[in-house]
Amino acid sequence: MTNDIGGIIFEAFQNATGRSTGRAEIESWMHSLQYMDRVLNDYEIPHDAGVAIEYHLPQTSKRIDFILTGRDRDQRESAVLVELKQ
């Protein structure tokens, strides 16, 4: 709600990884994640769904841009992986 998604993710990224990133990546987060806000603003997504941004895959240098986790209508564990593109 502060309109600072880039700064918030950058700070969390630094705290979690101990690394920094370039301005281009921060701007990419700001541009791409505004659309994910629209996706998440859906009454069918449970309020307790999990959200991960820039999830680092263990033992690799790869990251998943956005993950939404929870249970589907049949109570099965589910995950949606999203690769954001400009």
Residue 37, amino acid = D
Structural domain boundaries, residue 62 = 5-82
Q: How many CB atoms lie within 10 A of CB 59?
A: 6
Q: Is the pTM of this model over 0.75?
A: no
pLDDT band at 69 (very low <50, low <70, confident <90, very high): very high
Domains identified in the chain, total number = 1
Mean pLDDT, range 22-51, rounded to an integer: 84
pLDDT on residue 1: 60
Maximum CA pair distance of the chain?
42
pLDDT at 49 over 70: yes
pLDDT on residue 21: 85
Q: What is the rounded average pLDDT for all residues in the chain?
A: 86
Alpha helix ranges (H) inside the chain:
5-17, 23-40
